[in-house]
Structure 1
């Protein structure tokens, strides 16, 4: 694996563990973070050995959001012309969006393990993941409204599809903190755990189950679920028929059926 400044990446037993590794800065998202995350998830997408990704934060917190120092640095590039400033800012926002789109579009399932702070950009990041899990006392918040701006890196686009429009609006308008347990009750996280150790153990157990399944079937399931966010049921049914016309010819189907009939655990190729 490459050496990263903002992350630590490990691959073991088909599971890639991607760790935001700036604990001394509460895992704030600096310039290195935004470029490295694209490279990491491109690697996860293209590496056949990777079946599933677990995303976590080192230390006491998942992430405190975008590094304020990075935002201040962008402001220093402004000139006198409003149009040129706007063009600069728009390109910067689109670059940040692309970093989390890389997470969203990774063909492998991405599981977020959240402890401590998950603020601002942290919410943008976890909403780009497939599933989210948290400690009961985690603190989650859409903080952008308190900074005088609208969240612009994915939260307002993805969160309503996860928890519904009304709850998403309440969180976005108020900037209020919610606990991990409150996040579970509204469907933002799937499960909660008593502490960090239990969280990591629980999330990796789920990841191991996913990693044991047919990678063709898991990848196809993710593709269909993602496709349905923006299409009608009729479109989805037509698409999955076309997809499975090819994928049902996979050797994985024969392996799964043989294992089922012989009551053995199937072993699937990468």
Structure 2
């Protein structure tokens, strides 16, 4: 007489287990025009190398990211997957700030940074041997997938350390301008904002003339390329290696990127 109730309970538990992954996903995406997408590209300081804390794992219902498998999941750190040492970066704080300032939209972050990648590797068909990846091609595949669900609203760029050499720094500005034009043309977004962040300028790690030249190219973007912004990294600390920001610095940098983006939107 008890067989049926026992089977029913077992069936009920089985169905709950099958359904569990659905409950772990973020809320359903809004209409395409309200799903605001941001492409996160560059090298390791975009990917993030900060120490992850429990607070960095707390999801927000309106801030999601495209994971390595191409699935929309809650945006928690580490967001990037370029190297096993990926940690806290600027992207999550940026997304939280934009979501807070823009009620009614969902922020979709598309992490695509590749640690160590020079700007020359961000071209079609170019392979970056250090990570055995194609930074440009891989990013475009992910961006096109994301654009099926939402609308591209911004491109965040943090890169330059690998180009701060005597051989590469003189041509950096021309390459940066060309990258912006190519991204906008390829993605069909001629007016999408492009925001570049300053490399770490730490008191115990003086810059040489080549890093100064790369920084100047980024600093001058708003004067030379429409709908661009430059984010200062002044006053931020490194994690001990004189190259990568610490976790608090990444969070501050993310807020600065958000402030720059929102200022561009207000100007528009």
Q: TM-score, normalised by structure 2?
A: 0.30
Instruction: Give the structure, 1 or 2, with the largest relative contact order (CA under 8 Å, sep 6 or more).
Output: 2
Q: Which has the higher helix share?
A: 1
Q: TM-score, normalised by structure 1?
A: 0.30
